[in-house]
Chains A and B, each alone.
Chain A
Amino acid sequence: RKEVEQDPGPFNVPEGATVAFNCTYSNSASQSFFWYRQDCRKEPKLLMSVYSSGNEDGRFTAQLNRASQYISLLIRDSKLSDSATYLCVVWGGAGGFKTIFGAGTRLFVKA
């Protein structure tokens, strides 16, 4: 089993749609959680950290369920510029200072 698993994608959605990304992690001792965005042939960039209480940044909402070891990202009112790969990231845990990325879910937003 992979340490971090994401929906395989790709997701194809029209502009204005709401899209949800799911992610599960296997190490219950993991400490920090993030969503990164990666554009084609570019480096990953932090989209948002994920907290147990849930957090929102504009059109983006992230949730963490530690009991289920599950992380989600919701994008509302999708824009063409949201087209990218979304990477679920988990840090720390029994393995120490390790950052584990999921394989990513590709999103295509079309006009």
Chain B
Amino acid sequence: ETGVTQSPTHLIKTRGQQVTLRCSSQSGHNTVSWYQQALGQGPQFIFQYYREEENGRGNFPPRFSGLQFPNYSSELNVNALELDDSALYLCASSLQRPNVTQYFGPGTRLTVL
């Protein structure tokens, strides 16, 4: 096990609702990255947080937002949910440096109806 935990494991929402997903990073890791993985696709980078600041973002609209807390755990918030937001949401923790291994949590499977 990686020591990265995510909650909840599954979630069902309806269009227009808001959702908050949570991630606890591995002990000693100061960086958390969030990814969206649609069925049959590779994970798509949403954003990365380092020491409570967003320091990298992929091509996702502003309704995808996040937070990192002093203990380096993190939240992903998605507002105004759309059907296409249905996916597996993965968080990964790491140290902030190049060529570093990212350790993934088991993911949260979000279904938007």
Contact = CB atoms under 8 A, between A and B. Distances in A.
Contacts of B33: 99
Interface residues of B, number: 27
A39 B57 CA distance: 26
Contacts of B40: 103
Interface in A62-111: 87, 91-92, 95-104
A49 B42 contact: no
A1 interface: no
Nearest to B90: A43
Contacts of B105: 43
Given A98-B58, A101-B43, A49 B107 contact: no
28 contacts: A4-B42, A42-B106, A43-B2, A43-B105, A43-B106, A44-B43, A46-B101, A46-B102, A46-B103, A49-B99, A49-B101, A87-B42, A87-B43, A92-B98, A95-B56, A96-B55, A96-B56, A97-B50, A98-B48, A98-B58, A99-B33, A99-B35, A99-B102, A100-B45, A101-B35, A101-B42, A101-B43, A103-B40
B105 to A, nearest CB: 6
For the complex of A and B, list the 6 residue pairs with the smallest distance between their C-beta atoms, beginning with the closest: A97-B56, A101-B42, A43-B104, A32-B99, A103-B42, A101-B43
